[in-house]
Structure 1
Amino acid sequence: MNNQPISILLVDDEPRFRQGLRTLLGFLGTNDSLKFDVVGEAASVEQALKLTVEQKPAMILLDMELPPGDGITALLSLREMSYKGKVLVLSGHREDEWVFRAMQAGACGYVFKDRVATQLCEAITTVMKEEVYLSPEVATCFFRLFNFYAGRSLSAGKAIHLTEREQEVLHWLVEGSSNEEIARHLYITVATVKAHLTAIFEKLSVTSRTQAIVKALKLGLVSA
């Protein structure tokens, strides 16, 4: 890592937490080997995407609770934009599903918020070396769910009747694809993808992409 400051965008809907991150980064920046330049703050997915385009940060510190939608929406949107920087998730969500989905959607690392003070420096250093950062406790969450889903049979999902095309759309949804990417994979229009997603959401009794993915995996409708 060179001595150039790492440009960072802070994305969290809690101003107090963002201020705490600024203070922590300032403290960590007293180390000669690490310098940071906070180029912006965002409290929503829309603000985060706008500032990413404007500032082109080398790293985004991303919360999972963002109005409207969530951090998964932000991660998928950043991938669709071909964002070249690194995204490090800082989240209060300790549930296995959140860790699994964030990493699958493109995060380079995941840090529990109550561990930020002790793990942020190592996490940033690791991610900027083109490596993935997962502390042992986070890695346990990720691989516990990975192994669970990998071993699921389809029997639990027999009560859910999806058409062949809906199953294909659901497959790519679980893979973390955006609507545009699903359309390209299946050679259909984005409008058709949205129509299939509406039908899938209704059959699964869910209201968001993340809920649909988690429920589909739990029911064994698809494998991770």
Structure 2
Amino acid sequence: MPTPQLVSVLLVEDELQFRRGLQTLLTFYNDDCYLQFQIVGEAISVDQALKLAMEQNPALILLNLGLPEFDGIKVLVGLRERGYKGKVLVLSAHRKDEWVYRAMQAGAKGYIAKDRVGSQLYDAISTVMNDEIFLAPETATSFFRMFHFYAGRSLQADRGVHLTEREHEVLHWLVQGASNEEISSYLFVTVATVKAHLTAIFNKLSVNSRSQAIIKALKLGLVMT
């Protein structure tokens, strides 16, 4: 029998009951699985998560995307900025295409719906610890739907209107009804940067207002609702 591999784990989850459930699952795996887990910390906020990640340098972070105000994305961005080299596996109650895409784009190595954790967690951990990406079929569909939108459909429709990737993202959230402040939060840029992108978008679409931009973007097929 091969020597078990010890994996240090940081839990980032603000729901106590769910966090306890993760502890129970990891303990259960330790009984007869190749991967053995040692929990080196628990965090319930962005600041705690980043602090513990830098102090403990865990091999794996199990991250709840749905921390208050979707701060799980901020954790991913903060880890990337600080040069964290371990793996992050997102656990989320949110299945919308945008959240799966944003989490993976921000650096997650895998994404599991919370109601599938019991059946998928060990396989997901094994996959990401083997330097591969874990996406369950239903989650992969969401991710590639958004990938197609940003990298495929938008480029095909862009023959006459040449928007940058970031301008496509701003336009997407504009069509969703997001304010400048919300777009700023979603894309982790300043409000001033959002305004600059909107000015560029308006110029390229030859429009003068948000509503005109939305209508023209939909007519040209630059975004999907």
Relative to the length of structure 1, the TM-score reads: 0.71
Task: Determine the C-alpha separation between the residues in 2 that align with 1:90 and 1:31.
Answer: 23
SS at match of 1:148: helix
1:18 aligns with 2:14: no
CA 137–69 in structure 1, closer or farther in 2 if over 3 Å, else same: closer
Q: Is the 2:5–2:34 Cα contact (8 Å) retained in structure 1?
A: no
Paired residue for 2:51?
50
SS at match of 1:106: coil
Task: Determine the C-alpha separation between the residues in 2 that align with 1:44 and 1:98.
Answer: 19
CA 151–127 in structure 1, closer or farther in 2 if over 3 Å, else same: same
SS at match of 1:29: helix
**Residue number among 195, 208, 215 corresponding to 1:199 in the alignment:** 195
SS at match of 1:130: coil
- Aligned AA for 1:34? L
Structure 2: segments with no counterpart, 5+ residues? 171-188, 202-213
CA 96–31 in structure 1, closer or farther in 2 if over 3 Å, else same: same
Paired residue for 1:37?
38
Task: Determine the C-alpha separation between the residues in 2 that align with 1:172 and 1:144.
Answer: 15
1:130-149 equivalences in 2 (<5 Å): 130-149=131-150
Offset, 1:2: 5.5
Q: Is the 1:58–1:85 Cα contact (8 Å) retained in structure 2?
A: yes
- Aligned AA for 1:142? F
SS at match of 1:151: helix
Task: Determine the C-alpha separation between the residues in 1 that align with 2:67 and 2:93.
Answer: 12
Tell me how large the CA RMSD over aligned residues is: 3.2
Task: Determine the C-alpha separation between the residues in 1 that align with 2:106 and 2:139.
Answer: 16
Higher RCO structure, 1 or 2 (CA under 8 Å, sep 6+): 1
- Aligned AA for 1:197? T
SS at match of 1:79: helix
Q: Is the 1:89–1:107 Cα contact (8 Å) retained in structure 2?
A: yes
Task: Determine the C-alpha separation between the residues in 1 that align with 2:195 and 2:129.
Answer: 41
CA 60–27 in structure 1, closer or farther in 2 if over 3 Å, else same: same
CA 147–201 in structure 1, closer or farther in 2 if over 3 Å, else same: closer
Mean Cα displacement is larger for which, 31-40 or 103-112? 31-40
Considering only CA atoms, is the larger Rg found in Structure 1 or Structure 2?
2
Offset, 1:170: 3.8
**Identity, % of aligned positions:** 53
Offset, 1:54: 1.1
SS at match of 1:84: coil
- Aligned AA for 2:193? L
Task: Determine the C-alpha separation between the residues in 2 that align with 1:105 and 1:173.
Answer: 14
- Aligned AA for 1:151? R
**Residue number among 124, 132, 153 corresponding to 1:151 in the alignment:** 153
Per-residue CA deviations over 1:19-38 (Å, capped at 9, x if unaligned) read 11000111111124121001
Relative to the length of structure 2, the TM-score reads: 0.70
1:1-224 equivalences in 2 (<5 Å): 3-67=4-68, 70-149=71-150, 150-152=152-154, 153=157, 170=166, 194=190, 196-197=192-193, 199=195
Over 4 Å off, 4+ runs:
171-174, 200-204, 218-222
How many residue pairs get aligned? The number is 183
